[in-house]
């Protein structure tokens, strides 16, 4: 894998000598081999064995969901923005197109990260989904635990693509919950239900305390009673909230890359 990266870099150097105006990421070049590559570690952030294992994992996920899942690292952005570099990489002929894809880029020069999505990747990895993912990944990047960061990315990509296959991709208001959060939500729901029931029972019990001791026999007369007057008395009302969908403003924002391809994506620092 590292040897192949050296071939890529040599090809780039030759092109830079021939075309002085080159302004895109180097990996936008055609791959030098038919081997499926899902990890391009130009910054040498992980060991060869870790890279091979990660590549196999991403290849498996990509094949299962017909959506490329890629990791790209470098020590320079080659005079473009992180988003532009990630987009150019995903548009590269170095990767088989499949039905779409997601690429996670890490640049060590300025501690940049970026996601780029295309095709089915735009639907599966929404803006809210990407924010959730980087929230899980960024602590490992900050600790320079790059292998752990990339494997978290692989696990999340697998989970997100699996969810998208159900027709309801993770999005705002519908993001994955860890085991602890699920237990916490269950406990809160049980306690809330108990308190609501207790309040209702207490209220009903109070409303039944309206019987008074009868001091006259006329109280029990059934017939022959004439009402001199009558009126309706307001007792109480009950409010039951109804939850309605408001749309939530989810989904993926998109932009067009320099190649004319529609992409989703996001970027930031770690």
The confidence band for 222, taking pLDDT boundaries of 50, 70 and 90, is: low
pLDDT reported for residue 35: 66
- On the CB side of 131, CA atoms within 13 Å amount to 12
Which has the closest alpha carbon to 196: 136, 238, 250, 150?
238
pLDDT in tens, 37-48: 999 999 999 999
Average pLDDT, integer, range 73-99: 91
pLDDT reported for residue 156: 98
Of residues 76 and 218, more confidence is placed in 76
- Most confident region among 95-104, 157-166, 219-228 by mean pLDDT: 157-166
56: left (phi over 0), alpha (psi -120 to 50) or beta: alpha
Of residues 100 and 11, more confidence is placed in 100
Q: Which residues, other chains included, contact 93 with Cβ-Cβ below 8 Å and sequence gap of 6+?
A: 28, 29, 30, 31
Lowest mean pLDDT among 59-63, 122-126, 196-200: 196-200
pTM of full prediction above 0.95: no
Of residues 17 and 221, more confidence is placed in 221
pLDDT reported for residue 229: 55
pLDDT in tens, 131-189: 999 999 999 999 999 999 999 999 999 999 999 999 999 999 999 986 544 433 434 44
Write down all domains in the chain, each with its CATH number in brackets.
2-176+251-269 (3.10.310.50)
Using the 8-state DSSP alphabet, how is residue 144 labeled?
A: T
pLDDT reported for residue 29: 45
């Amino acid at each position: 894998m590292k040897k192949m990266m050296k071939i890529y870099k040599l090809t780039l150097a030759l092109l830079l000598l021939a075309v002085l105006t080159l302004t895109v990421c180097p990996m936008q070049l055609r791959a030098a081999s038919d081997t499926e590559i899902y990890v391009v570690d130009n910054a040498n952030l992980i060991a060869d064995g870790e890279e091979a294992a990660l590549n196999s994992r991403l290849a498996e996920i990509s094949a299962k969901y017909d959506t490329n899942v890629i990791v790209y690292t470098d020590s320079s952005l080659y005079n473009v923005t992180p988003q532009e570099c990630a987009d150019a990489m995903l548009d590269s002929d170095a990767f088989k197109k499949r039905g779409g894809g997601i690429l996670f880029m890490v640049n060590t020069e300025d501690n940049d990260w970026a996601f780029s999505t295309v095709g089915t990747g735009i639907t599966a990895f929404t803006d809210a989904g990407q924010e959730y993912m980087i929230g899980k990944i960024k602590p490992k990047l900050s600790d320079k635990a790059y292998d752990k960061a990339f494997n978290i990315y692989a696990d999340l990509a697998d989970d997100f693509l699996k969810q998208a296959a159900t027709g309801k991709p993770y999005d705002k208001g519908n993001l994955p919950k860890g085991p602890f959060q699920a237990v916490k939500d269950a406990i809160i729901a049980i306690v809330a239900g108990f308190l609501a029931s207790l309040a209702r029972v207490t209220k009903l019990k109070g409303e039944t305390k309206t019987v008074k001791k009868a001091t006259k026999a006329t109280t029990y007369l059934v017939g022959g009673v004439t009402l001199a007057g009558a009126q309706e008395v307001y007792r109480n009302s009950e409010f039951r909230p109804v939850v309605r969908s408001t749309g939530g403003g989810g989904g993926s924002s998109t932009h067009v890359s320099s190649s004319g391809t529609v992409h989703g994506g996001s970027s930031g620092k770690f």
